[in-house]
Structure 1
Amino acid sequence: MAGTLPAAGPAAAADPQRLTVDLSAPEGPVTLGANGALYGLSDDGVPSDAALEPLKITSISQKPEGGAQHPNGDALTVSKSFFRNGGGEINVMMQDIYAKWPYEDLGIDDYLPKVDKIVKEVAADPNSDRFVYVPFNEPDQIWYHLGVSDQATYEKNRDRFFQDWKTVYHRIRAIDPDARIAGPNESAYHTRLLRDFLAFAKRENVLPQIMTWHELGSGSLRDFQAHYDNYRALEREAGIAPLKINIDEYANRRDLSVPGQLVQWVSMFERNKVYANAAYWDAAGNLSGHVVRSNIPNGGWWFFRWYAGLTGDTVKVTPPQPHTIDTLQGLASVDRSRRQAQVLLGGADGDSDVVVRNVSRSLFGRTVTATVAEAAWSGYEGQHAAPRVLARTKLTVAADGTVTVPLRGMHKMSAYRIVLTPGGSGTPAAPAVPWSASYEAEDAAITGGRVYTQGTVSNANGYAASGTKDVGSLNTPTSKVDFTVTVPKSGTYDLAILYGNQSGAPATQKLSIDGGEPVTVTYPSTENWTYRAKQDVTVRLPAGTHVLTLAKGDAEVTLDRIDLTARTGEPSTSYEATLADISGRPSYDYSSSTGAGTGALVLRGGDQAVFDVYAPRDGYYTVVSRGSAAVRLALHGETVTAAPGRPLRLYLVAGNNRVAMTAGHAAVRSLDVSGGGSTAGTLSYEGASATLAGGARLVESAYASAGSHIGWLGNSADSTAEFTVNAPRSGRYLLVVHYAHNDRRDNGHAYNTDIMSRTADITVGSGTARKVTFKNTWSWDDYWTLGVPVDLKEGSNKVTFGNATAWAPDIDRIELGRVVG
């Protein structure tokens, strides 16, 4: 009896790799320290609350208020959304007050007044105790040049840095006596400087409260453990108690968004109980490449959602090749109160056996249910549905306390989660895993294009690509890529295309099957040719072999990979209650493993479970609670009673939706969600139907739904757009705004794309205006959606958009759907 992944291609010739988990070797409580991000937030609302809260982020790094390094991401501004969503602490990158990169060196006397201003503003904040001051950034490279090999030059530069550190340290403490200060914040780990720094800081009583340095090379996956061990030895040598460590920049561009790469980084940080923030290589506001638009998960987001779901203690994991770049790695936890063990692993192709040792029969019983799921790579801007469950199998615990879970046909870029729970009686329902296959663009027949290599170990700051290659330069009239595919049955297939579009507007290709009549595939803009996104289309294919051709349309598009998946019915997902976020003191009942859920979560008064529910688009879905009694569901500020097994029609926004469940007393196995996002029964109003004032006007647009959008909106109190909305009944609605804008400010940074958000004040009737943030859409012609809960009365309602002080986004149209349909 085994939990086995479906085979993907020919079976590996080599014996399976072995990753061993020892549940009797605890490493300490789960810290979730490695889930932070540098410039992960750009504005209040970017990313959305629903994308931010589930990740339980422990630290982020942002610039001081008004800092000139980037146009957004100010620490005090983003702290509002960060703290209301359970965020931990904010590192204030104080030198990001400067405009240039590397920072202009105007001397310490120029810097000190800026330090004073930053500290006074932070100290005045009600949450000042949750900020950390980082006075210097990469001093080994910037201002002080501490990495020089000549010892005499090093000592001269070192002493200047130490004196400035002491001066700034005292300056901060003079204004904020309780300040927590972090440093020295080198660009890489250097034993020489850290030994000298600890001795100096201890002697002069200017020791940081948090030790920071950066791990930004692919070699860090090999070397970090040695760096950590050496640093702790330096502390002991200096007679210093262990400091909290925050690796406040980590990972290469090729790692971000890639679940299999992220496992490798996060496992080594969590094992050592180190905090860490992923680097900022591209755009702010997407949690370092893990949130699509503002609210849509990609594969990397789901990995961090799994990481946030670890509870109890982490336990020892022995990978096949410890401290080796781009190999199978993992982390694991056991929660005795929940009677759950979880293993997260990834980073290698092929087959693996996960051997879990010391599975306590007193905790789990004689059998366990092993549930295996996959979070795949979907690109930096490619949407990823809730991870597919690949296997749910009942296993017998061996006499020596061992359980082995075989994984077959693993994908290097994917992460996998194994959850072990007590087996109980009955047989768990086997998941329906549809047929699926992937085809690399570089392996297809290419006409008028070129294969490029991306994101390898030697080019770690290249962008990730499936198989480390993609196809670009598809810019001639005859450019095309012919994919030869073979499908097992006649039917409907979902075709997912991983692409890049830097053309500055929606771009098209022509899709044809076996040389038949082509259809147009439209690709929204992306940051650049290699910042991968995913476009989903549907095709009908007879059983057998076919040639799928993607030929140049109106602009160039790069291609990475296509995925074909058999459509077996309307999309549906069961969200297991025993894996939901909880508050209160619910209990876990594993007496029966029959069905989709591996057990039941028993909710009583005061308990709450929160489910993260994915929707591919804005619209209505069928939601069913599977349990013993009625529960209450809260969504978008509306609460509705759900009888067990009885479907509800609820409006979900594209991306993640937080659904909170409470009950008087109910044993709940799962929350089941199905459908494709119906718009039947919604209200829709084109921009042309709005009453415009104060300079706002209709602008012709070939890409708008009705040929025009509302432009020149805002930048004056008089410039408004007023829609008249006729609600069939009173209640809570989702106002979905279709908008576009491409505001940017080039700060001259070497590698960051300084996109900016716009805001609009939205007023319903005579109510109070609500300021809503709209993220940059990468072009003026790409329309995204943003959902805003509003309350409407039956009959006519005025919904007004404006912005008295700055430009609002262009508005194509609005839709409204009652939360409970």
Structure 2
Amino acid sequence: MAVTLPAAGPAAASPTLGFARAGGAPIPQRLTVDLAASEGPVMLGANGALYGLSDDGVPSDAALAPLKITSISQKPEGGAQHPNGDALSVSKSFFRNGGGEINVMMQDIYAKWPYEDLGIDDYLPKVDKIVKEVSADPNSDRFVYIPFNEPDQIWYQLGVSDQAQYEANRDRFFKDWKTVYERIRAIDPDARIAGPNEAAYHTRLLTDFLAFAKRENVLPQVMTWHELGSGSLRDFQGHYDNYRSVERELGIAPLKINIDEYANRRDLSVPGQLVQWVSMFERNKVYANQAYWDAAGNMDGNVVRSNIPNGGWWFFRWYAGMTGNTVKVTPPQANTIDTLQGLASLDASRRQAQVLLGGSAGDSDVVVQNVSRSLFGRTVTATVAEAAWSGYEGQHATPRVLARTKVQVADDGTVSVPLRGLHKMAAYRIVLTPGGSGTPAAASVPWSASYEAEEAAITGGRVYTQGTVSNANGYAASGTKDVGSLNTATSKVDFTVTVPEAGTYDLAILYGNQSGTPATQKLSVDGGTPVTVTYPSTENWTYRAKKDVSLDLPAGTHTLTLAKGDAEVTLDRVDLTARTAEPAARYEATLADISGRPSYDYTSSAGVGTGALVLRSGDKAVFDVYAPRDGYYTVVSQATAPVRLALHGETVTAAPGRPLRLYLVAGNNRVATTAQQAAVRSLDVSGAGSTAGTLSYEGAAATLAVGAQLVDSAHASAGSYIGWLGNSAASTAEFTVDAPRSGRYVLVVHYAHNDRRDNGHAYNTDIMSRTADITVGTAAPRKVTFKNTWSWDDYWTQGVPVDLKAGSNKVTFGNASAWAPNIDRIELGRVVG
């Protein structure tokens, strides 16, 4: 088989890679997977994040649970370093969604960065308070104390070259380490303590530190340091090997390692970059947390808003889906910056092999060796999918399946999967399952092309270089360039595009908008009448988001013009994709999350090609279903018998092949499937999010009390929103909702707010969430968290499951102790439509 990716425009042409064939064609890179060379159980250690959570509900449960996060790093309760992200506060959502452990960054109790150095005597009472609070928590055994952060640079200056000065600084640090270590253990005898937590790997200090800590009986239970630069992709293996050798020389049993800050801005959210980091950490079985460069609460650039996946989220979802043992992967170039890398797993009990790869453009041959015929048979189904880069704030639909093909296992146990036209910023997943009988349904891959803004015709703008190896902490950009300064009346970018046939095309625009309000551009085709494109706000000009627009184009070559509207917008790239049908995705049951003891049936590779999951009483499969917007979708269970689907607290029976109309919220939806006995092949979801049959109420329809006001706004849906809500128990907004039927509904709140606190950091944007207590009828109030929307004029949605009775229902919003978000309008849709 050969998998050829969708065509790229001229600006996205792949570089020449490898050695040239006769005639000058590049030889494909070769990535080899050896299923017989086990590296040990899949650990999922590299999926963590520093300040990945900001509040209970940010990110949402549906965004957190699928990632199976093993560790996060957060500040102590009440820490002044940031306005949110307190370890105990976020622990509730983290643990209920299957999270592993929480590193408490104890020095983040201080307000300034670098931390104000008030001496160890000032710090010790703070240590006491933190440890007393954490040790009193029912889940105290799942917290790890990190008493010092980057001591090589902060407080102790351990990176100095002068040896005498280093030794003086080192000895002061060691004395304080011992003091704080013993202070923690005096309060919490079972405490796990991590350190020394340097900003980078230093053999000199770690050798001295381990010798001292062993001698004084203050060894950390977890060894931590940071790997933040591009050079870590080259150097980490050497750091790891050196560290383990130091342990052996000192007679110290191997300690658990957590690289509790890794990567830089240009890597975060980019699937092709993340593959490189994750593969080296998983191979060495260390834990690792992505660094916190921007805003808390989005898993360090992988969750859009609170519940919407981007390309990075899907890569980590794939990573979380790996089971069994990891196996040896040999890349074209080991330990080399920005090259094709991968990780792979074999689960003999499920009879599945998975390969994740990315990081380089061009062609690659993935060669899987030692494919056991006793496990897989004489043929396998190879399923190939792509997770593209969609920006930090750009939504990404369910990864597109590029190929489902039955492949013969060679006599030597080899299966080759040729991939052609890889995109450097994308990641790819190959799943191998037993071939069985039948033929998998062919993958439907629409025509698509990409066009870089810097290669277009630019008027009144400037090309900027972003996110290169030499500027690794710059933001990622497609092709490492974007077009900004489009701030004059005549500013525009003309893209020359060529489409193969007349039809409807989806135009995806990667952009940035730091204007502080929704910004517009004028889109025209071949100089025709322009239409307005409105771009929601982003954190800054380079914190990329994605705007989707529909176009009808005749066959042939056209000029697409994006001209300045009411404010400046930066442009990175546009993608054109032919729309061949309504949006649809098929979710393979054998790749779903499971509980219980379901079995795997590969006798037939029909349909999605990966066989069927056999559910019996007590078994459960959970599908992660993407919705582009809030609304109704058609859901079909491809199963041999009826199954029960649970969504938003509602359960409904799905007959085999019979469509259901279900309400999904924008982003990820977890659909749990159970059955008495059924072989489930897939869950098929289609539609664009119909609002037919939903209830809708503008802010003006609410009854407002004590300070809450209706405020005029050109950006609100009906010209006004509810503001000044809350900050008093009496300040409320009450909607009267007329439900046609009783049952479980999803209440969708259209809201905005832009609370933030400037802590004076050079890079962190300390946005804050607001909460509202929502009361339905006589039920108890429910506190709901609403993430910052980047501006007061951008309205996002938050879905809240509620129970309504037939007829009139009162839905009341309030907040007795703080301001609630501004509310534009609400919608309600019954879960089963």
Q: How far has the Cα of 1:82 moved from its partner?
A: 0.2
Q: Provide, for residues 211-256 of structure 1, a one-character-per-residue CA deviation record: whole Å limited to 9, x for no partner.
A: 0000001000000000000000000011000000000000010000
User: Residue 388 of structure 2: which of 373, 376, 380 is its match?
Assistant: 376
1:3–1:406 CA contact under 8 A, matched in 2: yes
Aligned to 2:545: 533
Distance in 1 between residues matched to 2:702 and 2:78, nearest whole Å = 36
Aligned to 1:301: 313
User: Residue 400 of structure 2: which of 375, 388, 391 is its match?
Assistant: 388
1:631–1:666 CA contact under 8 A, matched in 2: yes
Which amino acid in the other structure matches residue 312 of structure 2?
G
Is 1:454 the counterpart of 2:475? The answer is no
Aligned to 2:584: 572
Aligned to 1:221: 233
Which amino acid in the other structure matches residue 465 of structure 1?
A
Q: How far has the Cα of 1:2 moved from its partner?
A: 4.0
The secondary structure found in structure 2 opposite 1:287 is coil
Aligned to 2:734: 722
The secondary structure found in structure 1 opposite 2:46 is coil
Q: How far has the Cα of 1:596 moved from its partner?
A: 2.0
Aligned to 2:765: 753
The secondary structure found in structure 2 opposite 1:814 is strand
Aligned to 2:183: 171
Which amino acid in the other structure matches residue 280 of structure 2?
M
Q: How far has the Cα of 1:138 moved from its partner?
A: 0.1
Aligned to 2:153: 141
The secondary structure found in structure 2 opposite 1:494 is strand
Q: Provide, for residues 719-753 of structure 1, a one-character-per-residue CA deviation record: whole Å limited to 9, x for no partner.
A: 00000000001000000000000000111112100
Aligned to 1:158: 170
Distance in 1 between residues matched to 2:323 and 2:671, nearest whole Å = 21
1:509–1:550 CA contact under 8 A, matched in 2: yes
Is 1:806 the counterpart of 2:818? The answer is yes
Distance in 1 between residues matched to 2:586 and 2:613, nearest whole Å = 14
Q: How far has the Cα of 1:6 moved from its partner?
A: 4.5
2:7–2:448 CA contact under 8 A, matched in 1: no
The secondary structure found in structure 2 opposite 1:34 is helix
Q: How far has the Cα of 1:585 moved from its partner?
A: 0.4
Distance in 1 between residues matched to 2:413 and 2:92, nearest whole Å = 48
1:684–1:815 CA contact under 8 A, matched in 2: yes
1:32–1:57 CA contact under 8 A, matched in 2: yes
Which amino acid in the other structure matches residue 185 of structure 1?
N
Give structure 1 stretches of 5+ with no counterpart.
none
After TM superposition, list the pairs within 5 Å mapping 1:502-541 onto structure 2: 502-541=514-553
Q: How far has the Cα of 1:5 moved from its partner?
A: 3.7
Distance in 2 between residues matched to 1:5 and 1:669, nearest whole Å = 26
Distance in 1 between residues matched to 2:334 and 2:441, nearest whole Å = 36
Q: Provide, for residues 166-222 of structure 1, a one-character-per-residue CA deviation record: whole Å limited to 9, x for no partner.
A: 000000000000000000000000000000000000000000000000000100000
1:3–1:370 CA contact under 8 A, matched in 2: no
Aligned to 1:248: 260
Which amino acid in the other structure matches residue 255 of structure 2?
L
2:381–2:609 CA contact under 8 A, matched in 1: no
Aligned to 1:195: 207
Aligned to 2:220: 208
Aligned to 2:570: 558
Aligned to 1:282: 294
Q: Provide, for residues 269-319 of structure 1, a one-character-per-residue CA deviation record: whole Å limited to 9, x for no partner.
A: 000000000000000000000000000000000000000000000000000
The secondary structure found in structure 2 opposite 1:96 is helix
Please identify, of 163-172 and 741-750, the stretch whose mean Cα deviation from structure 2 is larger. 741-750
Which amino acid in the other structure matches residue 806 of structure 1?
A
Q: How far has the Cα of 1:165 moved from its partner?
A: 0.1
Q: Provide, for residues 428-485 of structure 1, a one-character-per-residue CA deviation record: whole Å limited to 9, x for no partner.
A: 1111100000000000000000000000000000000000000000000000000000
Q: How far has the Cα of 1:426 moved from its partner?
A: 1.1
Distance in 1 between residues matched to 2:395 and 2:763, nearest whole Å = 24
Percent identity for Structure 1 against Structure 2: 89
After TM superposition, list the pairs within 5 Å mapping 1:396-411 onto structure 2: 396-411=408-423
User: Residue 656 of structure 2: which of 641, 644, 648 is its match?
Assistant: 644
2:35–2:346 CA contact under 8 A, matched in 1: yes
Q: How far has the Cα of 1:7 moved from its partner?
A: 5.1
Is 1:24 the counterpart of 2:36? The answer is yes
User: Residue 347 of structure 1: which of 340, 359, 371 is its match?
Assistant: 359
Cα gap change, 1:7/1:405 in structure 2, threshold over 3 Å: closer, same or farther? farther
Aligned to 1:260: 272
Distance in 1 between residues matched to 2:402 and 2:735, nearest whole Å = 47
1:39–1:288 CA contact under 8 A, matched in 2: yes
Is 1:80 the counterpart of 2:95? The answer is no
User: Residue 599 of structure 1: which of 584, 607, 611 is its match?
Assistant: 611
Q: How far has the Cα of 1:716 moved from its partner?
A: 0.2
The secondary structure found in structure 2 opposite 1:202 is helix
The secondary structure found in structure 1 opposite 2:538 is coil
1:6–1:408 CA contact under 8 A, matched in 2: no
Aligned to 2:784: 772
Is 1:673 the counterpart of 2:685? The answer is yes
Q: How far has the Cα of 1:691 moved from its partner?
A: 0.3
Distance in 1 between residues matched to 2:430 and 2:612, nearest whole Å = 18
The secondary structure found in structure 1 opposite 2:123 is helix
User: Residue 496 of structure 2: which of 457, 476, 484 is its match?
Assistant: 484
Aligned to 2:127: 115
Distance in 2 between residues matched to 1:636 and 1:679, nearest whole Å = 17
1:739–1:810 CA contact under 8 A, matched in 2: yes
Distance in 2 between residues matched to 1:707 and 1:403, nearest whole Å = 60
Q: Provide, for residues 571-611 of structure 1, a one-character-per-residue CA deviation record: whole Å limited to 9, x for no partner.
A: 10000001000000000000011122420000000000000
Distance in 1 between residues matched to 2:728 and 2:718, nearest whole Å = 26
Which amino acid in the other structure matches residue 467 of structure 2?
G
Q: How far has the Cα of 1:766 moved from its partner?
A: 1.2
Give structure 2 stretches of 5+ with no counterpart.
17-24
Which amino acid in the other structure matches residue 550 of structure 2?
T
Aligned to 2:27: 15
User: Residue 674 of structure 2: which of 646, 656, 662 is its match?
Assistant: 662
Q: Provide, for residues 684-740 of structure 1, a one-character-per-residue CA deviation record: whole Å limited to 9, x for no partner.
A: 000000000010010001000000000000000000000000000100000000000
Is 1:427 the counterpart of 2:439? The answer is yes
Aligned to 1:233: 245
Which amino acid in the other structure matches residue 635 of structure 2?
V
Q: TM-score when scaled to structure 1?
A: 1.00
Is 1:787 the counterpart of 2:799? The answer is yes
Is 1:69 the counterpart of 2:106? The answer is no
Is 1:49 the counterpart of 2:23? The answer is no
The secondary structure found in structure 1 opposite 2:44 is coil
Aligned to 2:593: 581
Q: Provide, for residues 108-129 of structure 1, a one-character-per-residue CA deviation record: whole Å limited to 9, x for no partner.
A: 0000000000000000000000
1:597–1:670 CA contact under 8 A, matched in 2: no
Q: Provide, for residues 767-820 of structure 1, a one-character-per-residue CA deviation record: whole Å limited to 9, x for no partner.
A: 100000000000000000000000000000000000000000000000000000
1:742–1:777 CA contact under 8 A, matched in 2: yes
Distance in 1 between residues matched to 2:261 and 2:74, nearest whole Å = 12
Aligned to 1:183: 195
Aligned to 2:665: 653
2:6–2:449 CA contact under 8 A, matched in 1: no
Q: Provide, for residues 669-695 of structure 1, a one-character-per-residue CA deviation record: whole Å limited to 9, x for no partner.
A: 000000000000000000000000010
Q: How far has the Cα of 1:627 moved from its partner?
A: 1.1
Q: Provide, for residues 28-76 of structure 1, a one-character-per-residue CA deviation record: whole Å limited to 9, x for no partner.
A: 0000000000000000000000000000000000000000000000000
1:617–1:655 CA contact under 8 A, matched in 2: yes
Distance in 1 between residues matched to 2:302 and 2:537, nearest whole Å = 17
CA RMSD, Structure 1 to Structure 2 (Å): 0.7
Distance in 1 between residues matched to 2:518 and 2:541, nearest whole Å = 13
Distance in 2 between residues matched to 1:114 and 1:642, nearest whole Å = 55
Distance in 2 between residues matched to 1:314 and 1:101, nearest whole Å = 39
Please identify, of 422-431 and 378-387, the stretch whose mean Cα deviation from structure 2 is larger. 422-431
Q: How far has the Cα of 1:8 moved from its partner?
A: 4.0
Aligned length: 821
